[in-house]
Amino acid sequence: MKTNLTGKGASRIHKSVSPEEIIAAGGTTAFGIKTGKNNEALKKALKNSAEPEPFTEEEWEGLLKQIANDK
C-alpha cells in the first residue's frame, strides 16, 4: 500500500489505496478483512462515541442566515 504524506490532517495518517490494490485483494470485503477493518469494529466505535450535541439557538440562527445568504 502507498502512504500519502503530502496531505494535511487525517490524510497524513491514512494510507492511500488504489482500486487495483482493492481488486487484487479480492474486493472490498476481502480487502477490509486483510487490513483489519470490519463493520463490527466500526459499530463498536460508534456505540462508544460521545452523543452528538444539538445546535444551540444561536447556532441555528447563524446557520439559517448563512443558508438564506447563500441562495
Count structural domains, the chain: 1
Q: Does 65 score more than 70 pLDDT?
A: yes
Residue 14: the pLDDT is: 66
Reported as a single tens digit per residue, the pLDDT across 27-55 is: 888 888 888 877 788 788 889 998 888 89
Give the containing element (helix H, strand E) for 3.
strand 2-3
Q: What is the spatial distance between Cα 33 and Cα 38, in angstroms, rounded to a whole number?
A: 6
Q: What rounded mean pLDDT belongs to the chain?
A: 80
Q: What is the pTM for the complete model shown?
A: 0.35
Range of the domain at 9: 2-70
Phi, psi of 4 (to 5 degrees): -95, 105
